[in-house]
Amino acid sequence: MNNLILVRHGQSKWNLQNRFTGWVDVELTKNGELEAKKAGNLIKNLNIEIDLFYSSIQLRAKNTLKLIQKVLGNDKSSKNSWQLNERHYGALTGLNKDEMKAKLGEEKVHQFRRSWDLRPDPLDKKNPYHPKNIKIYDDVPRENIPDTESLKDTYERVIKFYKSEIENNIDKKNILISAHGNSIRALCKLLFKLDNNQITKLEIPTGNPLILTFNNKREIYECKYLDKDRAKDLLIF
């Protein structure tokens, strides 16, 4: 049996400030670095060799992966893709979530954060937080850079990458993906066969490895968080 380990990056500076982050490239906090190192130790205790590593191209995910690999003593190169990026929150980018709740109402903000196909208003292309104004996206085709995204949009790009790059190896290799709350939710929607309503209830904690064990028929045999104290409801397991 082989394993797919999904890790949401450790706490970022904008997580701490409770801001909508999306495609903005922010660093880990000191606590986020500790979460990543703890994730590395939890994975190390499994005594399995990770064959393939993947990450988004955003610092918080890449650096989480680097810290995990350092703990594992595994310096294999990773494949980093913009398709594993966090969801783009459009005009909400950079805004404080609590302030937006006070302004728009808690239910409306929850819909923006968790609904399947609702997109926030687009982010102005002149805004410094727009991906077209952030250097790490210089090599991403302009037509693939969004102004805003729904979870459905995020799902479509994440799953396209998963099917082309990862799926054929899940019953042959041990794989680790360092990504984001919504890109991991997209993967879980596919792998857990969640419907559009169920996915709105799935929460992904920072820095807590979620391990999925597959049989040779590519069916999930077992699924669990490695840090039980910080685990969230997996809905169907």
Q: CA-CA-CA-CA torsion for 33, 36, 38, 40, nearest 10 degrees?
A: -140
Q: Write the single-letter amino acid at 158.
A: V
Residues facing 176 on adjacent strands: 5, 53
Alpha-carbon distance of 152 to 143, in angstroms, equals: 18
Which residue do the tokens 């970022």 mark? 12
Q: Residues near 101 by Cβ (< 8 Å), separated by ≥ 6? A: 109
Set 9, 88, 130, 180: catalytic member: 9
Task: Count CB atoms within 10 A of the CB of residue 219.
Answer: 9
**Residue 88 bears catalytic tag:** no
| Nearest of 2, 128, 15, 130 to residue 64 by alpha carbon | 15
Set 86, 130, 149, 180: catalytic member: 86
**Residue 222 bears catalytic tag:** no
| Nearest of 43, 80, 42 to residue 61 by alpha carbon | 80
Q: Catalogue the active-site residues.
A: 9, 86
